[in-house]
Amino acid sequence: CVKTRASHHCRQCGRCIQGFDHHCPFVAGCIGDRNRHFFLWFLALSSAGCMYATFMSGHAFWECVGFPVARLNLGWPETRPRPDAACRVVKELSLLFLPTAGMTVLVCSLCMWQGWLFSS
């Protein structure tokens, strides 16, 4: 490969990449000058998907775990029906809240870091 000053050889791909940043296993290719903005869009949409999953599972988590704990012996009148029936239906979804929240923090952090790197 003809190596210019700004290009680097990728060991995984076996190609020279202009403005090489890194080899990304998630997109199965190298990130360089030509596809940097596509990679940033990929991260932004992945972050949005993670936030949506966290919101959806967070609602079920609050209904099945948070709400019953919040109304324990506080003397408040029962204004909402018990979510026991809903918890039987969505208990698997409510258990997804913690992993999706963790993944959202990681993916959003990666997206912000890459955005900062690409802007500088």
Write out the catalytic residue numbers: 24
Query: CA-CA distance, 103 to 50, in Å (whole number)?
Result: 7
> Rounded to whole angstroms, how far apart are CA atoms 64 and 112?
32
Burial grade of 30 (CB within 10 A; 0-12, 13-18, 19 or more):
buried
- 51-67 as b/e, with b when 16 or more CB fall inside 10 Å? bebbeebbebbbbbbee
